[in-house]
């Protein structure tokens, strides 16, 4: 019995501790399994990395003006694999860089689900109050802003700003960028007075961190300039465009071949050129356009959609100064560039067609002008819809051409339709209505319907005077047309 009890205790202990040989065997199996799992994970990561690098190669030096459906697919695929190989902080940094050309290209349907997925990732790690989360919120808010969902954009920007304000002092550039995005949102909502304080606060922060890699201050200065332009304070707008240029010139002295700085400087020169042209400072505007073109050629090459935009602006200046041959050459070159890159179903292409047609009208080449106006009208109706004000502009121009050609029956419905679009879009007192009424009055005058023409000229004068004042060229043209009609009527009575 005693021996039995001792043996029983030994067996009891053995059951608790297990056989040493079995433990060693189990440990080896666990180690082998762990190594096997680690190898499988490494293989999986390597596969993701290899595929990521393949798609990443396609995304190098991507041009926002030349985005293709294949580029969009490559970005989506690269993002799918980037999630598997990057930590969240690295993923956000990579995504911001690679998303930028798609952002500038307005690829909102592509970006929206990717930003939303990225937000879910960073809210888990590094967390909902992290700078990465704030950065993604700003990007996502920007997408909603451009899609016209201002309420959602405002909610996302507000949350991002709350996060940024609680971050350490070294994270201040993010605060400045978020404030600037807030200001731009209010600008797009036509709430200019609310936008300005956000821009001012943003600029105070961004100027401290200005570098070739951080051009936030330049973007905000351009945005402030556009705000003052919208407030019809061109002198203030000019001041801020010049401030932006000064910063860019300083940065380019440090890095003469920095392509990003070149692009921003060319864009700002272009913006300033447009403003100076509108202010009547045509010589300086021409000089600014010339500088922009040189930079764009160096940055993009001699044939690029960005070049086409500046060529259009300079061509318009030549048109305004009656240098029609030069205007025709530049508009034609711009069209050739856009056609080369497949930009024919584009609002800008239609605008160039419309403007070039105006040049041909001035040169008396009416059949060519008719062809271009008709093509511009078809594109605008297709892209913008039949009741868009841009459609009305081409209708107006086409009507004026038919009036010049003496084809009054064709001109009348075009003017009438343009007038209806303007009235529906802007109300009864918009200056474009005044211009159309002036043209319609000229048509009725050509048809010998003098009383109707007088009534239309007078309505046009009232609208134009309220908008521009009695010293504006449009007012003087319409007034002279009315005076000319009265003189014509008086001569007919005498005879």
Q: What is the pLDDT of residues 268-295, one digit of tens each?
A: 999 999 999 999 999 999 999 999 999 9
Strand partners, 211: 214
Instruction: Examine the domain organization and report whether 282 and 187 are in the same domain.
Output: no
- In a domain, residue 164? The reply is yes
Question: 102: domain range?
Answer: 86-207
- In a domain, residue 311? The reply is no
- In a domain, residue 22? The reply is no
Which is more confidently placed, 97 or 35?
Answer: 97
Residue 2 has pLDDT above 50, yes or no: no
Instruction: Examine the domain organization and report whether 231 and 201 are in the same domain.
Output: no
Instruction: Examine the domain organization and report whether 164 and 135 are in the same domain.
Output: yes
Write out the two tokens for 380: 């605008």
pLDDT band at 55; cut points 50, 70, 90: very high
Residue 158 has pLDDT above 90, yes or no: yes
Q: What is the per-residue pLDDT for 6?
A: 41
Instruction: Examine the domain organization and report whether 163 and 238 are in the same domain.
Output: no
Q: What is the pLDDT of residues 338-391, one digit of tens each?
A: 999 989 999 999 999 999 999 999 999 999 999 999 999 999 999 999 999 999
Residue closest to 206 by CA, chosen among 227, 224, 193, 230: 224
Q: What's the CA angle centered on 120, arms 74 and 110, to 5 degrees? A: 30
- In a domain, residue 463? The reply is yes
Last residue of a domain, one of 301, 334, 356: 301
| Contact criterion met (CB below 8 Å) for 203 and 220 | yes
pLDDT band at 492; cut points 50, 70, 90: confident
- In a domain, residue 459? The reply is yes
What's the total number of domains in the chain?
Answer: 3
Determine the Cα–Cα distance for residues 115 and 139; give it in Å rounded to an integer.
7
Instruction: Examine the domain organization and report whether 187 and 93 are in the same domain.
Output: yes
First to last CA, the chain: 153
Instruction: Examine the domain organization and report whether 192 and 228 are in the same domain.
Output: no
Write out the two tokens for 297: 């050629």
Determine the Cα–Cα distance for residues 328 and 401; give it in Å rounded to an integer.
18
Instruction: Examine the domain organization and report whether 179 and 91 are in the same domain.
Output: yes
Instruction: Examine the domain organization and report whether 194 and 97 are in the same domain.
Output: yes
Least confident of 37-41, 84-88, 472-476: 37-41
- In a domain, residue 123? The reply is yes
Last residue of a domain, one of 207, 242, 264: 207
pLDDT band at 16; cut points 50, 70, 90: very low
Instruction: Examine the domain organization and report whether 90 and 202 are in the same domain.
Output: yes
| Contact criterion met (CB below 8 Å) for 248 and 261 | yes
Determine the Cα–Cα distance for residues 130 and 278; give it in Å rounded to an integer.
45
| Cα dihedral 277/338/322/486 (nearest 10) | -90
Instruction: Examine the domain organization and report whether 195 and 134 are in the same domain.
Output: yes
Mean pLDDT value of segment 475-482? 92
Q: Which helix (H) or strand (E) holds 330?
A: helix 324-340
Last residue of a domain, one of 183, 207, 231: 207
Residue 495 has pLDDT above 70, yes or no: no
- In a domain, residue 248? The reply is yes
pLDDT band at 5; cut points 50, 70, 90: very low
Residue 124 has pLDDT above 80, yes or no: yes
What b/e sequence results for 83-98 when a residue is b if at least 16 CB atoms lie within 10 Å of its CB, and e otherwise? bebbebeebbebbbeb
pLDDT band at 473; cut points 50, 70, 90: confident
CATH number at residue 248: 1.25.40.10
Q: How far is CA 352 from the centre of its chain?
A: 18
User: Largest alpha-carbon pair distance within the chain?
Assistant: 153
Instruction: Examine the domain organization and report whether 174 and 248 are in the same domain.
Output: no
Instruction: Count the neighbouring beta carbons within 10 Å of the beta carbon of residue 493.
Output: 7
- In a domain, residue 144? The reply is yes
Residue closest to 185 by CA, chosen among 224, 141, 137: 141
Q: What is the per-residue pLDDT for 33?
A: 60
Q: What is the pLDDT of residues 288-299, one digit of tens each?
A: 999 999 999 999
Instruction: Examine the domain organization and report whether 179 and 226 are in the same domain.
Output: no
Q: What is the per-residue pLDDT for 4?
A: 36
Is 0.85 surpassed by the pTM of this model? no
Residue closest to 122 by CA, chosen among 113, 130, 114: 130
User: CA–CA distance from 450 to each of 32, 405, 435 (Å)?
Assistant: 101, 19, 18
Determine the Cα–Cα distance for residues 365 and 358; give it in Å rounded to an integer.
10
């Amino acid at each position: 019995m005693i021996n039995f009890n001792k043996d029983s205790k030994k067996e009891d202990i053995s059951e608790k501790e297990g056989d040493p040989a079995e433990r060693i065997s189990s440990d080896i199996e666990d180690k082998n399994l762990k190594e096997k799992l680690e190898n499988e994970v490494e293989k999986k990561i390597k596969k993701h990395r290899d595929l990521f690098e393949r798609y990443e190669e396609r995304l190098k030096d991507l041009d926002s003006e030349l985005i293709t459906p294949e580029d969009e697919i490559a970005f989506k695929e690269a993002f799918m694999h980037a999630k598997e190989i990057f930590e969240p902080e690295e993923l956000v940094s990579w995504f911001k860089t690679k998303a930028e050309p798609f952002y500038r290209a307005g690829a909102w349907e592509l970006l929206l689900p990717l930003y939303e997925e990225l937000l879910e990732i960073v809210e888990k790690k590094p967390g909902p109050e992290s700078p990465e989360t704030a950065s993604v919120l700003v990007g996502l808010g920007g997408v909603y802003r451009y899609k016209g969902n201002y309420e959602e954009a405002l909610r996302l920007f507000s949350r991002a700003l709350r996060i940024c304000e609680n971050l350490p002092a070294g994270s201040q550039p993010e605060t400045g960028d978020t404030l600037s995005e807030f200001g731009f949102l209010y600008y797009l909502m036509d709430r200019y007075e609310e936008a300005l304080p956000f821009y001012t606060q943003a600029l105070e922060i961004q100027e401290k961190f200005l570098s070739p890699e951080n051009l936030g201050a330049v973007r905000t200065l351009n945005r402030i300039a556009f705000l003052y332009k919208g407030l019809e304070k061109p002198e203030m707008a000019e001041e801020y465009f010049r401030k932006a240029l000064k910063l860019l010139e300083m940065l380019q002295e440090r890095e003469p071949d920095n392509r990003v700085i070149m692009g921003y400087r060319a864009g700002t020169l272009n913006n300033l050129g447009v403003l100076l042209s509108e202010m009547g400072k045509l010589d300086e505007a021409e000089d600014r356009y010339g500088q922009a073109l040189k930079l764009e050629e160096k940055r993009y090459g001699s044939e690029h959609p960005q070049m086409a935009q500046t060529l259009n602006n300079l061509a318009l200046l030549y048109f305004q100064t009656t240098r029609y041959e030069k205007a025709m050459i530049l508009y034609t070159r711009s069209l050739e560039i856009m056609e080369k890159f497949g930009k024919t179903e584009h609002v800008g292409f239609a605008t160039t067609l419309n403007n070039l047609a105006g040049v041909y009208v001035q040169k008396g080449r009416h059949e060519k002008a008719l062809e271009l106006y008709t093509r511009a009208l078809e594109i605008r109706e297709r892209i913008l819809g039949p009741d868009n004000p841009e459609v009305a502009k081409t209708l107006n121009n086409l009507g004026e051409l038919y009036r010049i050609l003496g084809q009054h029956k064709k001109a009348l419905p075009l003017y009438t339709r343009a007038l209806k679009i303007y009235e529906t879009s802007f109300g009864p007192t918009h200056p474009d209505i005044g211009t159309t009424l002036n043209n319609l009055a000229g048509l009725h005058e050509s048809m010998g319907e003098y009383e109707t023409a007088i009534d239309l000229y007078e309505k046009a004068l009232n609208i134009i005077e309220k908008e521009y004042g009695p010293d504006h060229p449009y007012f003087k043209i319409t007034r002279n047309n009315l005076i000319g009609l009265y003189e014509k009527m008086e001569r007919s009575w005498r005879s």
